[in-house]
């Protein structure tokens, strides 16, 4: 299994009204120590063979993210085992 994970986030300077709406709802849960929430998107791509990070990066840059407003990061997901914190 060769899974590449692409995380797409709005650039810090772009307003994230969705995240803001969530942040504004948190006090209703009794959460008062959160100053900001930002919402992104996680995309998992499974390659047939060895994961090709360069191609994954190209896919992300061309399609998965809009570089005008979004940043992305890429990493290989090691199956089942190493869940990172």
Partner 1 sequence: MTMRIGVVTFPGSLDDGDAARAARIAGADVVRLWHGDPDLHGVDAVVLPGGFSYGDALRCGAIARFAPVMETIIDAARGGLPVLGICNGFQILCEAHLLPGALTRNQHLHFRNRDQFLRVESTDTAWTNGFTAGQEILIPVKNGEGCFVAEERTLDQLEAEGRVVARYLRGNPNGSQRDIAAITNEAGNVVGIMPHPEHAVEALTGPSLDGLGFFTSVLRALAGAPAGAQAGGHQ
Q: Which residues bind partner 1 (CB under 8 A)?
A: 10, 14-15, 17-18, 21, 63-64, 66, 68-69
Q: Which is nearer to partner 1, 34 or 69 (CB)?
A: 69
The b/e string for 42-61 (b: 16+ C-beta within 10 A; e otherwise) is: ebebeeeeebeeeebbebbe
Q: How far is the CB of 20 from partner 1 (least distance, A)?
A: 9
Q: Are the C-beta atoms of residues 18 and 39 closer than 8 Å to each other?
A: yes
Q: Which is nearer to partner 1, 25 or 53 (CB)?
A: 25
Q: How far is the CB of 39 from partner 1 (least distance, A)?
A: 10
């Amino acid at each position: 299994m060769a899974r590449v994970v692409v995380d797409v986030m709005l650039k810090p300077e772009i307003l994230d009204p969705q995240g803001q709406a969530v942040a504004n709802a948190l006090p209703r849960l009794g959460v008062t120590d959160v100053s900001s929430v930002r919402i992104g998107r996680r995309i998992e791509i499974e390659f047939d063979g060895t994961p090709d990070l360069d191609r994954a990066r190209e896919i992300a840059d061309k399609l998965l993210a809009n570089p005008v407003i979004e940043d992305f990061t890429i990493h290989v997901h090691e199956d089942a085992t190493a869940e990172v914190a």
